[in-house]
Amino acid sequence: MKENATALLDLIREQSQKNKKFIDAFADFLLLCRQSINPNLSEQAIEEMLIQHLLTERIFRSVFNNPDFAKRNIIAVEIEKVINALTSKSFSRSHFLSTLDRFYGAIEETAATIDDYSKKQDFLNTIYEKFFQGFSVKVADTHGIVYTPQPIVNFMVKSVEDILQREFGKSLVDKGVHILDPFVGTGNFLIRVMREIVEIQKSALPYKYEQELHCNEVMLLPYYIAAMNIEHEYFEQTGEYKSFEGICLVDTFEDQAVQQLDLFSPENMKRVQKQRNSNLFVILGNPPYNVGQLNENDNNKNRKYTNKDKTGIDDIVSATYAKASKATNKNALSDPYVKAIRWASDRISDEGIIAFVTNNSFIDQIAFDGMRQQLEKEFDQIYVFDLGGNVRKNPKLSGTTHNVFGIQVGVSVNIFVKKKNEEVI
Ligand SMILES: C[S@@+](CC[C@H](N)C(=O)[O-])C[C@H]1O[C@@H](n2cnc3c(N)ncnc32)[C@H](O)[C@@H]1O
């Protein structure tokens, strides 16, 4: 995977030295992405996007026999246009990509031996993890690219259904119960939610799928993988292919602020707007958290989300969790999982459930005293299943085999419940 990506990168770099058409088209693409996804996207991030697109497009076409994906997916359509502009005038696309054949060959040969979709899906999950770990370790760390083990996902979805019934007299199948995975990765959680819905009341699935299932992803490769996986699950359950409109390519921490810029894809913006207007009842998933960062001086810093109105997620963390803290060193609060809990707490309105599997440091570390205090104030019930696995705390655990994710930091499954009429002390 790494070789594949590196070879593509070399190709792009070569073109950007000598091909005027490529240079112009790339500059336009950069502008579009900055306007519609994130104003701070670096050139390198855009190169990575192109690489992720080209890799997945080919894998979806050849391994999954899904040649139409790039025509149907609203983002892929836009990127295809840029790639066509990049390749059409001065050289052919197939020629551009043919030098990579020997890299793809191995992947395609392996995949050719697998015939059922779920095994191919495992293969995609491996690509998801390995691509970032091999090619872009920095992204793997700041974005928390790890696939969530299925038993954890099962447990969380079942728990959410149980709490919905017990505390609210509701169910995942009910109309009005909007569900969001804000960090969708490969789509694991929503697929499991769809299966739960089918188990409880299959006829509820089409409406849910069209109106009340939502997810966000900021990286292109997982965005494509999630879209394809979720659409495939719907096809398996209903026999009908229907594109999934609940998926947004957006930075969750910016989703309330992204402007109506319909350049990149007006359809994507419409989806973001629709999600913004939805009254979310359940937010679940596996937020990013730094797994490799040993201390705050590591240069692999997370992006800061602040603005002059003090409405950025980092501003809100400062005004709440940090403000309530007595600790002198509050740096640990800049871990993205803390932002995710803050963001979700504000995003559900006066009632709802948040189920996140996260780093467990907030349970007992000193910098999180204010966060713990706030969580207690903001929620009526909090369930924390501490799965342990902090290698630094207990070196005897050695390596990562004692950790559910195979990482160094401890992990917990957390469920926060907020009820409307309950007096919160
Ligand atoms: C831990 S993974 C989720 C894995 C997923 N549950 C699965 O099992 O495949 C976190 C995902 O969130 C994405 N992500 C990170 N920061 C994000 C942000 N600010 N907005 C949207 N997605 C983000 C990452 O690219 C990554 O795919």
1: confidence class by pLDDT, cuts 50, 70, 90:
low
Q: What percent of the chain has pLDDT over 90?
A: 43
- Each residue's pLDDT tens digit, 40-76: 777 887 777 777 888 788 778 777 777 788 888 888 8
31: confidence class by pLDDT, cuts 50, 70, 90:
confident
pLDDT value of position 299:
43
- How much distance in Å is there from the Cα of 168 to the middle of ligand 1? 29
- Each residue's pLDDT tens digit, 303-315: 788 888 889 999 9
Q: For residue 156, what are the CA distances in angstroms to 89, 122, 227, 397?
A: 51, 20, 21, 25
pLDDT for residue 296 is more than 60: no
pLDDT value of position 112:
73
Average pLDDT, the chain: 83
280-286 average pLDDT score: 97
- How much distance in Å is there from the Cα of 140 to the middle of ligand 1? 10
Copy the structure tokens of residue 114: 């697998």
pLDDT value of position 293:
47
410: confidence class by pLDDT, cuts 50, 70, 90:
confident
Copy the structure tokens of residue 10: 């070399």
Higher pLDDT residue, 45 or 284?
A: 284
pLDDT for residue 3 is more than 70: no
275-304 average pLDDT score: 74
CA dihedral 139, 143, 146, 152 (to 10 degrees): 180
pLDDT for residue 21 is more than 80: no
251-266 average pLDDT score: 66
Q: For residue 58, what are the CA distances in angstroms to 80, 154, 186?
A: 12, 31, 17
- How much distance in Å is there from the Cα of 130 to the middle of ligand 1? 15
Contacts of 233 (CB under 8 A, 6+ apart): 187, 191, 194, 195
263: confidence class by pLDDT, cuts 50, 70, 90:
very low
Name the amino acid, one letter, at 171: S
The rounded distance, in Å, linking the Cα atoms of 124 and 187 is 11
pLDDT for residue 27 is more than 90: no
> Domain 150-418: which topology?
Rossmann fold (3.40.50)
Domain residue spans in the chain?
2-134, 150-418
199-228 average pLDDT score: 94
Q: Single out the residue of 300, 393, 401, 407 nearest to residue 359, CA to CA.
A: 407
Q: For residue 204, how far is the Cα from the chain centroid?
A: 25
Q: Is the CB of 143 within 6 Å of ligand 1?
A: yes
**424: DSSP letter:** P
- Each residue's pLDDT tens digit, 313-368: 999 999 999 999 999 888 889 999 999 999 999 999 899 999 999 999 999 999 99
The rounded distance, in Å, linking the Cα atoms of 53 and 58 is 8
- Cross-strand bridge partners of residue 353: 282, 417
Taking the CA of residue 147 as reference, the ligand 1 atom at the shortest distance is: 8
Q: 105-124: buried (b, 16+ CB within 10 Å) or exposed (e) per residue? A: eebeeebeeeeeeeebbebb
Q: Is the CB of 408 within 6 Å of ligand 1?
A: no
pLDDT for residue 395 is more than 60: yes
- How much distance in Å is there from the Cα of 73 to the middle of ligand 1? 19
Q: What percent of the chain has pLDDT over 70?
A: 80
> What order do you get walking across the sheet with 247-249 strand by strand?
247-249, 213-217, 178-181, 280-285, 352-359, 411-418, 381-386
pTM: 0.87
Helix (H) or strand (E) holding 412, with range, is strand 411-418
Taking the CA of residue 139 as reference, the ligand 1 atom at the shortest distance is: 25
Q: For residue 388, what are the CA distances in angstroms to 22, 365, 375?
A: 50, 14, 21
Q: How many CA atoms lie within 13 A of 400 on its CB side?
A: 10
What backbone phi and psi angles, to 5 degrees, belong to 405? Answer: -100, 0
The rounded distance, in Å, linking the Cα atoms of 242 and 265 is 19
pLDDT value of position 368:
96
Copy the structure tokens of residue 47: 């190169």
- Each residue's pLDDT tens digit, 113-152: 777 878 877 877 877 777 766 666 666 666 667 788 899 9
Residues 379 and 417 sit within 8 Å (Cβ to Cβ): yes
